[in-house]
Structure 1
Amino acid sequence: MKKYPFDSRGVTQWLAELYSATITYQMMEQEHILLSLRSWLISKFDLSKDQITYIATLSEDFKSNLAREIVFAINNHSPITLDKQTDENRTGLLDRDSVKVTEYESKKKQADVSHVPSITDVGKQFNRHAEGQLMIRIYYKRL
């Protein structure tokens, strides 16, 4: 199984390969993300021991919400951006009053048809449109 670097380029590479994969594979990927975000991250990206430990410190609610946002983005082929402003080589040089922060910003827009399709619409495609963007940020913040 291929692992990607845990940076914006690695996320872009993962998305490109995922979006060119079969629907079945994309659905399996979504199931893995929803089942355990931590396990999925470890299986997909090259993470250091400190990064793996850090993932465990995130609340279950946060990980669950983020997993659902990632799955929504995959379903709609929306861009997912990782804005990682941390440098593990410098963490020892940071003030004791700083803390690592992980947050995400999701922009979604979804529209459905204005009427319920009838039996005469069988040959027509149901018009459902969704678009959005998911930005995941990891940075250090002073307390």
Structure 2
Amino acid sequence: MKKYPFDSSGVAQWLAKLYSATITSQMMEQEHILLSLHSWLISRFDLSEDQIAYITALSEDFKSNLAHEIAFAINNQSPISLDKQTDEKRSGTWARDSVKVTEYESTNTQSDASDIAPESAIGQQFNRNLDGHLIIRIYYKLL
């Protein structure tokens, strides 16, 4: 798979390509993400040295949780979007008392078949819906 720009459109391009790929390819992508979010980000997106250093500095718990959220979204073909501060001129002028913050918001809603009565016909069809959206935000925050 090619490398994509690390911005909203790059994430959208990667996701469109991934969701049009085979299930096997999607599963391999999930495995790569779960194995090492750091390695996967470097292999999928064009990152600067500063961005790589920033990813390296994130806590292992945060990277693990984010990797699981991304893999879950891929498994359910949910939208994933990157909300990133992109004004490089401005971001280079932030005061020393600011920090870069990364967070994610996951809105997953799942309905299952637990409300189907046991006496329902064996061949009865039911819907299993998974709906959600994963938003990854990177921004600066004053301390």
Structure 2-normalised TM-score?
Answer: 0.90
State the SS of the aligned residue for 1:83.
Answer: strand
State the SS of the aligned residue for 2:25.
Answer: helix
Partners of 2:78 and 2:10 in 1: how far apart? 16
Deviations 1:63-92 (A, max 9, x none): 011011111111111110100014445444
Question: Match of 2:95?
Answer: 95
Deviations 1:37-76 (A, max 9, x none): 0000000000001100000111111001101111111111
Aligned Cα RMSD in Å? Answer: 1.9
In structure 2, list runs of 5 or more residues that go unmatched.
Answer: none
Question: Match of 1:58?
Answer: 58
State the SS of the aligned residue for 2:16.
Answer: helix
Question: Match of 2:23?
Answer: 23
In structure 1, list runs of 5 or more residues that go unmatched.
Answer: none
Deviations 1:89-128 (A, max 9, x none): 544421011100000011010011123889x63x566632
Aligned residues: 141
Partners of 1:85 and 1:137 in 2: how far apart? 8
Alignment of 1:68-79 (within 5 A): 68-79=68-79
Partners of 1:4 and 1:109 in 2: how far apart? 29
